[in-house]
Amino acid sequence: MRYRHRFKFLSFPYYHVEHMLILLIDDNEKLCGLYQQILAKGGHDARIETDPTKALDAIRAVKPDLLLLDLMMEPISGWDVLEQIRSSPELAELPVIILTGKVLTAPEALKYGMIIEGFIMKPLERNMLLAAIDEVKNVLDESEERYLRALSSGMSPDKALSCKTAIKKMKMLLFLRETLSKQERLMSQGIDEGSDLMNNLSALREMIAREFSRIHQETENCP
């Protein structure tokens, strides 16, 4: 039985298996074929959709465990697709890894950083892609197991869900904090502190601190 991502409320028993069904949405057909081969060699079943306007239909048809989503697509961007996914109740919990050659900007990190599960820069080596997928899969496994422990301890489903989502959010916050540090180091020289860029970096820093504090408070009693 392959790994299946379970949405908000899980049922016993819980199974952990390695194989994942992955949908790749990228309008570069050549790259899609290459990544599909890499994923297949890594033991995953990869499907492809090269038309971003058909992304939601493809997700509903394939029912993937994980979505790899490019950003720079036409006629709509990967961010547009992500917003469609997160606003669709039946798809909102689908794990999404952004796979792109575009550097994550501070405004994008503020807007989208907490609603994705990973961010991978192109070009990338085979091991890099498979390692990133394994890392996300391990986080999903850990969050599912923590959810079940919380339920078993007598927590309400809502409280248990906070325990579950905290693991994924903490992972992304650590990534965003690393992104912030890199951008501050690269862009601090010669930039007016009142500029939009510095303001965005300041807002991102405040958001990261606020989310760390909120998650710590919400999960203080998690098993």
List C-alpha distances in Å: 186 to 180, 183, 189, 201, 207: 10, 5, 7, 12, 20
CA dist., res. 69 & res. 189, Å (int): 33
Residue by residue, pLDDT tens for the chain (223 residues) are: 344 443 332 332 333 346 899 999 999 999 999 999 999 999 999 999 999 999 999 999 999 999 999 999 999 999 999 999 999 999 999 999 999 988 888 899 999 999 999 999 887 777 889 998 999 999 999 999 999 999 999 999 999 999 999 988 999 999 999 988 888 877 666 655 557 878 888 999 999 999 999 999 988 889 9
Amino acid at 114: M
Domains (range + CATH), the chain: 21-218 (3.40.50.2300)
List C-alpha distances in Å: 176 to 25, 94, 106, 111, 167: 23, 20, 9, 12, 14
Please count the other Cβ atoms lying within 10 Å of the Cβ belonging to residue 148: 19
